[in-house]
Amino acid sequence: MTINEDSPQYATGTALVTGASSGIGAAYARRLAARGHDLVLVARRAERLKTLAAQVSEEHGVRVDTLVADLSDTGDLDRVVARAAGDDIGMVVNNAGINGYGPFAETDPALLEKVIAVNVVAVTRIARAAVPGMLARGRGTVVNVASTLAFAGSLPPDPLPTRAVYGGTKGYVVTFSRTLAAELTPSPVRVQVLCPGLTATEFHLTQGQEPVGGAEARVHDDGGMPVEDVVTASLRALETGEVVCVPGLVDGAAVDRVTAAETGLRASATSTLAPRYAQGSRQ
């Protein structure tokens, strides 16, 4: 499919995709290359990036650069941030993420810091690097990949994972993306937050300290939605203007109901104490 350069749905120029060595990130790389985007692919696994870059370049005739980087490493992140600020960047897909699943009181604090670094700090810094240039050029798209676990804070684990920090980081991504999208309206720069549920990737095969080994992509035993369907939903949502894209959500109005509930909560930001707290209170 050829990009319509007059259409606001898709930015032209180079697309920078993090976490591109497998799963959702690799699927974005293939689909965006098919749409005519040159690519900058970012991930920790050099050989997988090299293989993917060669494939999409040969199949679609686009330029593909690779950046081998661990986004929890400040020096590596600095290099990616510098590239995201390039004049040619028309789209950013902040897809890289790690889970750090485990009981909060038992999980290595260093791993939890790594989860925050990759899922929050890197997403924020890369978007911050790209957005000013997009605004100056009058077009651009930022897609931040979150998770339906962003909406599962009060639900206990089993069958859901033990996920306090991971869920918190994805909640940040949702709020950050929605608030930024509102801030940038009515500019032509688009922001989307993609919230997939369980997806057929390697994600559950490691907590994230190290990438999954091997040259071939694998799928965890839990299965889930195919990555192609997840990316299809995201690209379609860009066409229809959805800021929050939940690929498996049949009732799209559910997002509007969340917004309405938030409006009700915000209406309580007054100087008057709610009666249920005032009644029976002790001096």
CATH of the domain at 95: 3.40.50.720
The answer as to whether 121 is a domain residue is yes
How far apart, in whole angstroms, are the C-alpha atoms of residue 69 and residue 18? 9
From first to last of its 283 residues, the chain has per-residue pLDDT tens of 233 333 444 557 999 999 999 999 999 999 999 999 999 999 999 999 999 999 999 999 999 999 999 999 999 999 999 999 999 999 999 999 999 999 999 999 999 999 999 999 999 999 999 999 999 999 999 999 999 999 999 999 999 999 999 999 999 999 999 999 999 999 999 999 999 999 978 776 677 566 766 656 766 667 799 999 999 999 999 999 999 999 999 999 999 999 999 999 999 999 999 998 988 656 5
Instruction: Say whether 172 is catalytic.
Output: no
Note the pLDDT of residue 26.
Answer: 96
pLDDT computed for residue 112 by the predictor:
98
- End-to-end Cα, the chain, rounded Å: 69
Inside any domain, residue 172: yes
Is position 58 within any domain?
A: yes
Q: What is the pLDDT of residue 7?
A: 42
Residue 112 falls inside a structural domain: yes
Q: Which helix (H) or strand (E) holds 166?
A: helix 164-184
User: Tokens for 99?
Assistant: 């889970």
Return the biggest CA–CA distance within the chain. 75
Residue 7 maps to a domain: no
Residue 12: what pLDDT?
Answer: 73
For residue 272, the SS3 value is: coil
Query: Number of structural domains, the chain?
Result: 1
pLDDT recorded at residue 5: 38
pLDDT of amino acid 204? 65
Catalytic residue among 101, 166, 172, 277: 166
Q: Are 193 and 174 in contact (CB under 8 A)?
A: yes
- DSSP H helices, 61-154, are 74-84, 109-116, 122-137
Q: What is d(CA 187, CA 269) in angstroms, rounded to the nearest whole number? A: 29
Nearest to 239 by CA among 15, 6, 7, 2: 7
Establish if 195 belongs to a structural domain: yes
Q: What residues pair up with 162 in beta bridges, in sequence order?
A: none
**Domain extent at residue 28:** 14-278
Judge whether 283 lies within some domain.
no
Torsion 145-250-153-202 (CA) sign = negative
Whether 213 is covered by a domain: the verdict is yes
